[in-house]
Amino acid sequence: MQHTMRWYGPSDPVPLSHIRQAGCSGVVTALHHVPVGEVWTIDEIEKRRNEIRNAGLDWTVIESLPVSEDIKRRTGHFRAHIENYRASLRNVAACGLKVVTYNFMPILDWMRTDLVYPMPDGSRALRFERLAFIAFDVFLLKRPGAETDYSDDEIAAARQRLDKMSPQQRDKLFHTTLQGLPGSDEHFTPEQILSALELYRDIDARTLKEHLFEFLREVVPTADDAGLRLAIHPDDPPFPLLGLPRIVSTEKDARELLDSAPSSANGLCFCTGSYGVRPDNDLAGMVKRLGDNIHFIHLRATRRDGAGNFYEADHLDGDVDMYDVVSEIVDLEGRRNESIPMRPDHGHQMLDDLEKTTYPGYSGIGRLRGLAEIRGLELGIRRNKAS
């Protein structure tokens, strides 16, 4: 595997020099300053790539080239945004990049209820607590119709959960769930969320999935002609939230989107953390069956329970059998005769990073630990297979 880390650009508190010291050969990043829907120009792409090269690293994987809400809803300026997306694909290919990661999650591309969940060893992890989320949705955000998404028992338990919170804890939950997208210091306001949700009122899972398929049929030929590989990130978490559909959550979802626009350019970002939240996803089997279309890999492990809660576990712990997954990846790379880019995802905040302000899940030391563990596991698997 090609070992990389995500870098959020010049404002990232984790500098490129630290990423290089962690043992990475490159970074995955994006032009976060370019508004969604606008064209990534060659000048801006080259400026970012030269900055990375000057630090002794490479940049071949984009994470992410965002898909606008207009495209997801196929309203407003969606046709212009699709043309701009195609222009951006041609420009990144002209600059020598190889993989473009994106997602099709409406409005929010991730959701957690606690960004500093304390672990037994004193480190901090990201966590999703279902009752806390229901309390936010029903009683704090007060989303119209939210009560219909939950059972009476769940709503009663969420009410009790909320009643036990102090005003400070309620405020923390409220702002955590409205956290801005990774790479941004901005937070969504309740008014923005409710207004955005209203725009999706008539879009169910079937409609959103067809919009994804139409988007792919429009951009995959461009990526194919340019020699690019598209890699869609799965839903995080992989189930409906705030009344919004989630359509890239299972192996069946992945197969349907690959079949909608058959091409080697149409592929997956295989995130073991996102897919792994669902116990019905066979991760190692998915690598084996979908491997020809896996163009980018996120390795992380989550620990779930029967109540719908989960947290980010250590990379070699949790519900993801990382040995089986990495073993299948090693076999896949042998069949394809190529190395697939990978990054460790969502490391714990630990050691000196406990005193720093970093993007949630993207502190340097926790990801360094995850990368070191994965590199050691990979080396052991390769030596064992070669013996």
| Residues marked as catalytic | 233, 271, 298, 345-346, 362
E-assigned strand segments in 68-220? 99-102, 114-118, 124-128
Cα–Cα separations (whole angstroms), residue 373 to 48, 151, 182, 208, 377 = 29, 41, 24, 38, 6
Q: What is the spatial distance between Cα 360 and Cα 353, in angstroms, rounded to a whole number?
A: 11
Return the closest-CA partner of residue 127 out of 316, 355, 309, 276.
309
Q: What is the spatial distance between Cα 77 and Cα 134, in angstroms, rounded to a whole number?
A: 33
Q: Which two tokens stand for residue 209?
A: 């999935």
Q: How many CB atoms lie within 10 A of CB 35?
A: 8
Q: What is the spatial distance between Cα 36 and Cα 84, in angstroms, rounded to a whole number?
A: 10
Quick check: 32 and 382 in contact, CB under 8 A?
no
State whether the Cα torsion 318-347-33-62 is positive or negative.
Answer: negative
Contacts of 232 (CB under 8 A, 6+ apart): 101, 102, 103, 104, 248, 257, 267, 268, 269
Q: What is the spatial distance between Cα 299 and Cα 160, in angstroms, rounded to a whole number?
A: 36
Quick check: 348 and 125 in contact, CB under 8 A?
yes
Q: What is the spatial distance between Cα 30 and Cα 259, in angstroms, rounded to a whole number?
A: 28
Residue 221 backbone dihedrals phi, psi, to 5 degrees = -60, -35
| 290 burial type by CB count under 10 A (0-12 exposed, 13-18 middle, 19+ buried) | middle
Q: Which two tokens stand for residue 212?
A: 């994804």
Residue 146 φ/ψ region, left for φ over 0, alpha for ψ in the -120 to 50 degree band, beta for the rest: alpha
